[in-house]
Amino acid sequence: STHMSKITSSIKAETRTLTGRKVKQLRNKGFTPATVYGHKFEPLTISFSTMEFNKLYSHVGESTLVEIHLGDTVLPVLFKNPQFHPVSSDLIHIDCHKVNLKEKIIATVPLEFIGESMSVKNGNVLITVLDEIEVEALPANLPEKIVVDISVLIDIDAQITVADLNIDKTLVEVKNEADQVVVKTDLPKVEEEPVVEEAEATPA
């Protein structure tokens, strides 16, 4: 459709025959193995050019719709479950979750904090309670990230809640409670006590 706000990222892929232990040969040749799976969809083993994939992945992460071009086939996917090498920390495998463009999905969107807080400048401590939120939207409407400007944190009483986030609510439904605190400032601790989070933060 013409009114799409953002251009979908795309990447070429090839079907791969090397699986299991042989995958190492593939990676040595500069390819990243991946698997495409989805509802009523026979899983496909594919590979990406590692260079192209790393460039794309660092930009899109796990909350952006990507079109995989496999020959003449176009598969709309979201990346999931990246696996990294324990030593080199290279990405060694990624799952591609094939989505139905007409069906809403639930996804996690990272929050990116920008700006300067007067409260922090005055010696208080920034406390980030949430660094991602859960949303439901059509795959094409998923925000890549949500930018949160902390300059509204002027004093210790100021806080930013989920309701304050800049999100197009007509396209994106937020699953978190509206009054959940995202970020706030607090007095600097005198003695080092273990910080207890009041909201249960999901592991990143």
Q: What confidence tens digit (pLDDT) does each residue in 102-150 have?
A: 999 888 999 999 999 999 999 999 999 999 999 999 988 988 889 999 9
pLDDT in tens, 31-89: 999 999 998 889 999 999 999 999 998 888 777 889 999 999 999 999 998 998 888 87
Q: Is 14 left (phi over 0), alpha (psi -120 to 50) or beta?
A: beta
126 contact partners, CB below 8 Å, separation of at least 6: 117, 120, 150, 153, 183, 185
Query: What pLDDT shows up at residue 3?
Result: 41
Looking at residue 116, its pLDDT comes to 96
Higher pLDDT, 196 or 164: 164
pLDDT in tens, 78-89: 999 899 888 887
Q: Tell me the per-residue pLDDT of 158-189, one tens digit each, with 9 for 90 and over.
A: 999 999 999 999 999 999 999 999 999 999 88
The mean pLDDT of 195-200, rounded to a whole number, is: 66
Average pLDDT of the segment spanning 21-37: 86
With b for 16 or more beta-carbon neighbours within 10 A and e for fewer, the 69-92 pattern comes to ebeeeebbbbbeeeeeeeeeeebb
The reported pLDDT for the residue numbered 2 is 37
Confidence of residue 1 (pLDDT cuts 50, 70, 90): very low
